[in-house]
């Protein structure tokens, strides 16, 4: 079946530090990959996505590249801000498996301190 | 205007009670979902409806029953609540059946259910 594994949190960084949150996946077909962000007390928002190998998704200074050879979709940001403090979820949909839903990783909590 | 709304935001109730959570989307989407987020923040799909038709029904107790009176609404009714049902429940919607590949899922703010 499909699964998503992301690094355990929490992650605490100082403002302007470099961020990497690792995400790897297993899928039976050809997945599309996503990062969602959940700010405190809110629902999930799509941060970025990539639908095929070597695609790079980017938004708000965050980037992730779809690496089929390593089955990874690591999230990066060059300089984090306090406002980036949130829980980040890696997720996939896999059209090859005929499934419609998002499969999420367990989330990584990021805290950015001034 | 809120795209996906849920009521109530907080729900505290006793074991054994029956409760409902309502969800509405004003995006004109065809597909709606219910997800459960446990205390460790793990998110898992429960149900999905496309144009009022059930298309995803994951392994959840049959005490949980979704109802879609029209494609803009997907309500979740829970019978005989148990302690383990305590969680945050998120509603979401997307334009098509194949969530994510062509469409973005838009999430509601969540309903925090606490069963005492």
pLDDT digits (tens, 9 = 90+) for B65-87: 999 999 899 999 999 999 999 99
**In contact, A23 and A4? CB cutoff 8 Å:** yes
Spell out which residues of chain B touch residue A93, defining contact as CB-CB under 8 Å: 98-101
**Long-range contacts of range B57-63, CB-CB < 8 Å, 24 or more positions apart?**
B58/A101, B60/B36
DSSP character for B104?
P
DSSP character for A41?
T
Taking alpha carbons only, the member of A107, A47, A9 closest to residue B38 is A107
Min Cα–Cα distance to chain A from B79, Å: 25
Residue-level pLDDT at B97? 63
Residue-level pLDDT at A40? 87
User: Quick check: bond before B8 cis, omega within 30?
Assistant: yes
Taking alpha carbons only, the member of B41, B39, B46 closest to residue B23 is B46
Q: Is the pLDDT of residue B30 over 90?
A: no
Q: Which of residues 3-62 of B touch A (CB under 8 A)?
A: 4, 31, 33, 40-45, 48, 55-56, 58
Q: Do B98 and A104 touch (CB under 8 A)?
A: no
Tell me phi and psi for residue A18, to 5 degrees.
-85, 135
Spell out which residues of chain B touch residue A100, defining contact as CB-CB under 8 Å: 31, 48, 55-56, 97-99
Residue-level pLDDT at B104? 76
A1-10, A90-99, B84-93: the lowest-pLDDT one: A90-99
pLDDT in tens, A5-62: 998 889 999 999 999 999 999 987 778 899 999 998 888 899 999 988 999 999 999 9
Taking alpha carbons only, the member of B84, B116, B104, B66 closest to residue A51 is B104
Over residues B112-116, the mean pLDDT reads 96
Residue-level pLDDT at A47? 96
Residue carrying the six token digits 């970025």 = A48
In total, the C-beta contacts within 8 angstroms joining chain A to chain B are: 64
Spell out which residues of chain B touch residue A107, defining contact as CB-CB under 8 Å: 41-43
Predicted confidence band of residue A100 (pLDDT cuts 50, 70, 90)? low
Predicted confidence band of residue B54 (pLDDT cuts 50, 70, 90)? confident
Who wins on pLDDT, A27 or B18? B18
Residue-level pLDDT at B100? 54
Separation of first and last alpha carbons in chain B = 34
Predicted confidence band of residue A110 (pLDDT cuts 50, 70, 90)? very high
Q: Is the pLDDT of residue B99 over 70?
A: no
Residue-level pLDDT at B101? 54
């Amino acid at each position: 079946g499909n699964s998503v594994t992301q690094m355990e949190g929490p992650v605490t960084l100082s403002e302007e530090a470099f961020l990497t949150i690792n995400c790897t996946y297993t899928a039976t077909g050809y997945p599309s990959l996503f990062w969602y962000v959940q700010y405190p007390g809110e629902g999930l928002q799509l941060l970025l996505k990539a639908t095929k190998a070597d695609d790079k998704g980017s938004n708000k200074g965050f980037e992730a590249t779809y690496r089929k050879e390593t089955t990874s979709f690591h999230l990066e940001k060059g300089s984090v801000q306090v406002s980036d403090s949130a829980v980040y979820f890696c997720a996939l949909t896999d059209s090859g498996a005929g499934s419609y839903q998002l499969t999420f990783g367990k989330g990584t909590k990021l805290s950015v301190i001034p | 205007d809120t795209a996906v709304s849920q009521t109530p935001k907080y729900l505290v109730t006793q074991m054994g009670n029956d409760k409902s959570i309502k969800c509405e989307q004003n995006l004109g989407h065809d597909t709606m979902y219910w997800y459960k987020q446990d205390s460790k923040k793990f998110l898992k799909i429960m149900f999905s409806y496309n144009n009022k038709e059930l298309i995803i029904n994951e392994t959840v107790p049959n005490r949980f029953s979704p109802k879609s009176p029209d494609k803009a609404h997907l309500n979740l009714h829970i019978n005989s609540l148990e302690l383990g049902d305590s969680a945050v429940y998120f509603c979401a919607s997307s334009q098509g059946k194949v969530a994510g590949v062509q469409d973005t899922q838009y999430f509601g703010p969540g309903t925090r259910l606490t069963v005492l």
